[in-house]
Amino acid sequence: MIMNRPIITNIAPSVATLAQLYFEADFIREVDEGRLGRAIENTSRWWCLHTEEPSDVIAIGRCITDWARYACVYDVIVRERDRRKGFGTYLMRQIIVDLVNHDIDTIHLWPSKGKVAFYERLGFIALSQEQPVMKLNRDLATKAMQVDDFSVIELSR
């Protein structure tokens, strides 16, 4: 049940708010303010669920998109004390409506552990094992590409 009439805006969170939500979600163990600042700035769109006071952030979500082919939703986080009250679902519904209205071909995300059912209830489907999410392992990449240092790889212009 939604309480206190939360407001949704596209205001980006502050570094401090993002860091706090990341801690609560166990996404980070320490804060690198510069890195978080870059992430905030370079996000295509933020959604922020807050009380009447914009700095009182209940939940956030963001996406990185080209506004045509792909939009990847990241960092859907409800602050710990307000979880399981429907805020996550409410926020995701707004995100989905917003992105669908932008006519983006593929809206996708990478669920954290245990969250597949949450996203399935909103209409997402898991791709088959033949199309798993793949993440670069730097150690394996240095061996596979037979390089010691990524800086040695230069692109010709």
Ligand X SMILES: CC(C)(COP(=O)(O)OP(=O)(O)OC[C@H]1O[C@@H](n2cnc3c(N)ncnc32)[C@H](O)[C@@H]1OP(=O)(O)O)[C@@H](O)C(=O)NCCC(=O)NCCS
Q: Which residue is nearest to ligand X (CB)?
A: 88
Kindly write down the DSSP assignment for every residue of 33-86, as one continuous string: HHHHHHHHHT-SEEEEEE-SSTTSEEEEEEEEE-SSSEEEEEEEEE-GGGTTSS
Of the candidate spans 29-37, 86-94, 133-141, 142-150, the one that interacts with ligand X by CB under 6 A turns out to be 86-94
Q: Does 51 bind ligand X (CB under 6 A)?
A: no
Smallest distance from ligand X to CB 76, Å:
5
Contact residue for ligand X among 42, 103, 117, 136 (CB under 6 A): 117
Considering the rule CB under 6 A, would residue 115 count as an interface residue with ligand X? yes
Answer whether 79's CB lies under 8 Å from 45's CB: no
Q: Which two tokens stand for residue 43?
A: 């996000």
Residue 93 engages ligand X in binding (rule: CB under 6 A): no
Helix (H) or strand (E) holding 108: strand 106-109
Element at 107 (helix H, strand E): strand 106-109
Pairing between β-strand 70-78 and β-strand 57-65 as defined by DSSP bridges: antiparallel
Stretch touching ligand X by CB under 6 A, among 33-41, 74-82, 93-101, 140-148: 74-82
Q: How far is the CB of 107 from ligand X (least distance, A)?
A: 13
Residues at the contact surface with ligand X, assessed by CB under 6 A: 1, 25, 76-78, 83-89, 111-112, 115, 117-118
